[in-house]
């Protein structure tokens, strides 16, 4: 039997047999084996359920170019040319990787006919782990955090759009460009009434469907709400450990798109849909550092520091929490690419939109990039990062923030004063302008390459690889005669 780096196959046997029994009990016919690519899009093979035991022991092959593609599925590296992937050992010539399912991830997909699902990890043919796998990038960052006696707890709020599909013109075989046409759609609600009960009632069946799908796949959903934008919604999840939170969000996004498609609905997690009144979809990451053994919130302080007020981080957060906050501020520009990886999402960074524009923190301030919630003596004290977009890869987004925070802890960084003017860089502001976030995908790529602390944390090879993929995408968009059509096809139609 093939050996897999870091995997104790013998210890998995009881888990494998349990899954096989569950498959038989449920009468399943098919099992989907899925891996997350660099963009956290799930790549899947469907196998006969009778082969489940064999696949869980030996894995199944997938073409390696799946890990080398941009958001249009165009391979960003010249895999068939000598030296085309010299910087990526183990890749080349469209060779195979082996993906090994994790039996602990087994789910029954409630919207499918007799179908189960498992998350898998990629390995090279010799059983060596693929270090460029985004999930492993997060696992390495979490291991470094654990070496400090810490875990990261995350509560996620993700915004998205759902539309009614009108017709099938996008499926006309004569319009099968690459990427293809996005569907024609109509609104489910007209928007501009945040948390409107009238719009909630109008969309009741969709809200209930989203909740039911999330619950069925085991995602700890707390609420589904009508957001401000037309046909926009938000899902809120209970806090969980970072890796579990990332796994849940990857599966949730995939599941909602698939389940609603069966009801002629188009769900999109792209930041900006291609419509005049569209409102951007963000992803708000609530996070707290907890003791690795006890789970006690290490960001909470028992009493405010002497001679401080709510504009001081030391009034609200423990010293550890302030250092983590300081790291997020110091590396905000360097982590933007991993939090905002799609080119059209940079239009979200504008004044008075409940989205950040500058590198600032605030006390319960939704205009700031980093919003500190809670205070001395409050067990749920935490930092909310409002930088990420809804389509970001959760593994990379969380890993980059961990690396930034660890550097803040290592250097005992202070956070400075809280902002009372989060859009100080906007015209008419009298406050001195703070540092701005990158204004484009190209600027974010440059900032990621320049931030050596984050690059060392995530891995220099990984950062070069990811930036090469995103640079290829940015070049194609820059060369496109109609960027709006690019965004409609590549983002709205596919994310």
Asked whether the predicted pLDDT for residue 189 surpasses 80, the reply is yes
CB atoms within 10 A of CB 262: 10
Asked whether the predicted pLDDT for residue 427 surpasses 70, the reply is no
Asked whether the predicted pLDDT for residue 428 surpasses 70, the reply is no
Note whether 100 and 147 are same-domain residues: no
Residue 163: give its domain's CATH number. 3.30.590.10
How much is the pLDDT for 106?
97
- Domain-embedded: residue 136: no
State both tokens at 221.
Answer: 């959903």
Asked whether the predicted pLDDT for residue 193 surpasses 60, the reply is yes
Report helix angle 204-216 to 242-261, nearest 10: 130
How much is the pLDDT for 494?
85
pLDDT tens string 195-213 = 999 999 999 999 999 999 9
Average pLDDT over residues 373-389: 95
Radius of gyration of the chain from Cα atoms?
A: 22
Asked whether the predicted pLDDT for residue 175 surpasses 70, the reply is no
Residue 37: give its domain's CATH number. 3.10.20.70
pLDDT band for position 116 (cuts 50, 70, 90): very high
- Domain-embedded: residue 476: yes
Average pLDDT over residues 378-405: 97
Residue-range definition of the domain harbouring residue 198: 141-492
- Domain-embedded: residue 270: yes
How much is the pLDDT for 277?
84
Average pLDDT over residues 29-44: 96
Asked whether the predicted pLDDT for residue 431 surpasses 70, the reply is no
Average pLDDT over residues 360-388: 95
Percentage above 70 pLDDT, the chain: 97
- Domain-embedded: residue 369: yes
CA 314, distance to chain mean position in Å, is: 30
**Within 13 Å, how many C-alpha atoms sit on residue 167's CB side?**
8
Which comes out higher in pLDDT, residue 202 or 182? 202
CB atoms within 10 A of CB 187: 16
* From 42-46, 94-98, 147-151, 170-174, the region with the lowest mean pLDDT: 170-174
| Chain position carrying tokens 């970001």 | 392
Question: Which residues 6+ apart lie within 8 Å of 170 measured at CB?
Answer: 180, 181, 182, 183, 184, 493
Average pLDDT over residues 80-87: 89
Determine phi and psi for 266, rounding to 5 degrees: -110, 110
Asked whether the predicted pLDDT for residue 426 surpasses 90, the reply is no
> Which of these three, 67, 96, 128, is where a domain ends?
128
Note whether 412 and 279 are same-domain residues: yes
- Give CA angle at 145 (143, 150), nearest 5°: 115
How much is the pLDDT for 433?
76
Note whether 457 and 360 are same-domain residues: yes
Report the alpha-carbon distance of residue 303 to residue 178 in Å, rounded.
58
Question: Which residues 6+ apart lie within 8 Å of 245 measured at CB?
Answer: 154, 155, 156, 237, 239, 394, 398
How much is the pLDDT for 350?
85
Question: Which residues 6+ apart lie within 8 Å of 30 measured at CB?
Answer: 46, 47, 48, 49, 112, 114, 115, 116
* From 107-111, 164-168, 202-206, 341-345, the region with the lowest mean pLDDT: 164-168
Note whether 23 and 154 are same-domain residues: no
| Chain position carrying tokens 């046409």 | 181
Q: Are 458 and 399 in contact (CB under 8 A)?
A: yes
How much is the pLDDT for 43?
97
On whether the pTM is more than 0.85, the answer is: yes
Closest CA to 435 of 368, 383, 389: 368
Average pLDDT over residues 347-367: 91
Q: How deeply is 171 buried, as exposed, middle or buried, from its count of CB atoms within 10 A (0-12, 13-18, 19+)?
A: exposed
> Which of these three, 128, 163, 190, is where a domain ends?
128
Asked whether the predicted pLDDT for residue 353 surpasses 90, the reply is no
| Chain position carrying tokens 């090879």 | 461
Average pLDDT over residues 355-366: 93
Note whether 42 and 156 are same-domain residues: no
Considering only the C-alpha atoms of the chain, give the largest distance between any 2 of them, rounded to a whole number of Å.
Answer: 71
Note whether 328 and 366 are same-domain residues: yes
Which comes out higher in pLDDT, residue 472 or 429? 472
Nearest-10 Cα torsion for 241, 247, 249, 252 = -130
**Whole-number average pLDDT of the chain:** 93
Report the alpha-carbon distance of residue 335 to residue 447 in Å, rounded.
8
Note whether 193 and 124 are same-domain residues: no
Note whether 51 and 167 are same-domain residues: no
Asked whether the predicted pLDDT for residue 16 surpasses 60, the reply is yes
Asked whether the predicted pLDDT for residue 432 surpasses 80, the reply is no
pLDDT band for position 60 (cuts 50, 70, 90): very high
Asked whether the predicted pLDDT for residue 176 surpasses 70, the reply is no
* From 147-151, 462-466, 488-492, the region with the lowest mean pLDDT: 488-492
Average pLDDT over residues 393-412: 98
Note whether 103 and 211 are same-domain residues: no
Note whether 284 and 426 are same-domain residues: yes
State both tokens at 179.
Answer: 């990427």
Number of domains in the chain: 2
């Amino acid at each position: 039997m093939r050996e897999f780096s870091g995997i104790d196959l013998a210890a998995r046997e009881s888990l494998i047999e349990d899954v096989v029994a569950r498959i038989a009990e449920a009468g399943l016919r098919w099992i989907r084996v899925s891996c997350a690519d660099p963009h956290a899009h799930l790549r899947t093979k469907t196998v006969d359920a009778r082969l489940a035991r064999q696949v869980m022991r030996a894995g199944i092959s997938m073409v390696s170019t799946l890990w080398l593609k941009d958001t249009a599925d165009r391979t960003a590296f010249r895999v068939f040319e000598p030296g085309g992937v010299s910087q990526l050992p183990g890749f080349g010539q469209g060779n195979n990787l082996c993906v090994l399912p994790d039996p602990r991830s087994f789910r029954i997909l409630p919207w499918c006919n007799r179908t189960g699902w498992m998350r898998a990890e990629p390995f090279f043919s010799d059983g060596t782990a693929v270090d460029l796998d985004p999930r492993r990038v997060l696992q390495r960052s979490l291991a470094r955090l654990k070496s400090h006696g810490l875990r990261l707890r995350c509560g996620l709020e993700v915004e998205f759009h759902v539309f009614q599909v009108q017709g099938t013109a996008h499926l006309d075989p004569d319009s099968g460009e690459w990427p293809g046409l996005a569907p024609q759609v109509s609104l489910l609600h007209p928007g501009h009434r945040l948390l409107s009960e009238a719009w909630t009632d109008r969309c009741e069946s969709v809200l209930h469907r989203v909740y039911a799908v999330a619950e069925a796949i085991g995602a700890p959903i707390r609420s589904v709400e009508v957001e401000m934008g037309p046909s926009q919604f938000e899902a809120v999840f209970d806090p969980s450990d970072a890796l579990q939170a990332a796994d849940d969000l990857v599966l949730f996004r995939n599941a909602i798109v698939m389940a609603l498609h069966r009801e002629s609905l188009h769900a999109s997690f792209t930041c900006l849909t291609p419509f005049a009144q569209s409102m951007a979809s963000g992803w708000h990451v609530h996070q707290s550092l907890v003791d690795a053994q006890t789970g006690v919130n290490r960001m909470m302080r028992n009493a405010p520091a002497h001679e401080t007020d709510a504009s001081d981080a030391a009034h609200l957060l423990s010293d550890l929490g302030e250092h983590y906050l300081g790291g997020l501020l110091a590396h905000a520009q360097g982590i933007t690419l991993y939090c905002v990886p799609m080119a059209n999402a940079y239009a979200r960074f504008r004044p008075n939109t409940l989205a950040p524009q500058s590198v600032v923190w605030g006390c319960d301030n939704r205009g700031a990039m980093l919003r500190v919630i809670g205070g001395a003596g409050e067990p749920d004290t935490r930092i909310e990062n409002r930088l990420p977009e809804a389509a970001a890869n959760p593994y990379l987004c969380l890993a980059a923030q961990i690396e930034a925070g660890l550097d803040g802890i290592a250097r005992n960084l202070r956070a400075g004063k809280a902002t009372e003017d989060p859009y100080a860089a906007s015209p008419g502001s009298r406050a001195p302008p703070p540092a701005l976030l990158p204004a484009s995908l190209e600027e974010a790529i440059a900032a990621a390459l320049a931030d050596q602390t984050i690059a060392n944390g995530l891995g220099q090879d990984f950062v070069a690889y990811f930036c090469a993929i995103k640079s290829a995408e940015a070049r194609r968009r820059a060369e496109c005669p109609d960027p709006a059509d690019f965004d409609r096809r590549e983002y709205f139609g596919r994310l």
